[in-house]
Chain A
Amino acid sequence: MTPLLDVTDAKVHFGGVRAVDGVSIQLQDGALHGLVGPNGSGKSTLLAALSRMIDLTDGRLSFKGHDYQRDSAPAVARMGIGRTFQAVRVMSSRSVLENVMLGADAGVFGPGIVGNWLLPWRTRRHERRCREMAMAAIERLELTGMENHLVGTLSYGTQRRVEIARAVAAQPAVLLFDEPTAGMNRAERDEVAEVMRTLQAGGLAQVLVEHDMQMITDVCDHVWVMNFGKLIAEGKPEAVVTDPAVQEAYLGKRGEEDVNP
């Protein structure tokens, strides 16, 4: 069976820095995979490469059997690869509904501008469809009743949910999360974990970049571990945390404390 997402020997080099250096991973339909590693190990860069925010130096990206390493980021987003960012990114002076509709827009309106701008009858029909998709996403993220709140006035955890709703509204086939729980308290974190499990139950494939191993073991069924731009381990979360190579990456080499005072 063709994997949903198939990455072959992906490399991203910035001058001499090999941020991602020959990573090959596969993601099946409906799977929820974690991507972990110490700071600077290349997780976020890999995620940016997958969403085509940055170019691969070398390698191949394939989505549903289609090579997309040359497609533009907006085209990839419309194709069904959604993402969120490390920091909350919303239109804070717009309502929850408008923010979520922004996610649905590109799928419904398409890449064209002139038609959406100058054909009001078409626009009106599309707008209705977008609103429906946005309302469905709002319901899934339990934001119902807050549609008209300005996003800037909401709590951090809620803004995170708005972002996820925006990504979900586009009805992607895969969603890439870049540290969605950074800066969150435990209650908010559990909420996000719950959301991810619900989305998986609905058949959405997800990749979760995360520092917090607890979160990873809570939600992921498979984990990739990166260090220095390379994949150093993968497998079930429980197995990966006991892997010596992973422990070394996180805790340092045994005996290192003797060398460095």
Chain B
Amino acid sequence: MLRYAILRIFGAIPTLLLVIALAFLMVHAAPGGPFDAERMLSPEVEANIARAYHLDESLPQQFVRYVRGLLRGDLGPSYVYLDRNVSEVISRALPVSMQLGVLAMLLAIVVGIAAGLTAALSKNSFIDRFVTGIAMTGISVPVFVVAPVMVLVFAVYLNWFPASWTGGGGVSRLILPVVVLALPQIAYIARLTRASMIGVLSSDYVRTARAQGLRTSSIIRYHALKPAMLPLVSYMGPAIAGILTGSVVVEQVFGIPGLGQFFVTGALNRDYTLVLGIVILYAALVIGLNLIVDLLYGILDPRIGGR
């Protein structure tokens, strides 16, 4: 398995390079530049700025300069946060997004699996319909609706939690954003778990176990739970990468200095290096988490483990 993991990691390098090259081309292909504004600069000032930030070089030259920097671990200077470099912006924003993302994912896993299992075990009952209905609502109602409503109810009217990241210290400021981030994930996980568990429970070996007189709780615990988790594990890889790199809506609504916000404003402001830095991070996370998912598959499913 170690050999497999190492091969996969080396195999990911060309993918990552391709992502960097494509992202570099795409951000530079977008019309406008990082220093364009309604107030036009005089040609002399424009030339000085282009020279200072190497924007006067050809695109291949800029690409080579960027990749050289990357090899030294330097993601380059930000074109908007001029007093800082991209590594610094990301290293401050990533822990914030991760903190929220990890908590939201933990909440989503616990509540989502519990709800999904409950629904699957009482298939077609009132509880099942209730859970499925709530899950559908959770998926359908967008975050940009849920988040402001929650702020209005719990922060403005009830005053239970701060309305923003800087409005209060400690755990209280985490609760609303974590719950908002977790809600759609809970819904997805509950639906996935329910469908998968119903499938497993109707399989032949579970029927055989039942025929042998095993108790339902034992069947679920020792025979059904692990295989039922397989689709969930596949889903978790990209979902975790997505949630760790921040959600722009949640971050804007709660004023959280996370990665999602920097990614979107970076793209709008043509902050080439910042956008590239976050794309590289996101790509690396997706590649890394997919690898972990594949390794977990081997552990969860004995049919794959041998390969």
Do A and B assemble together?
A: no
A residues touching B (Cβ–Cβ < 8 Å)?
A: none
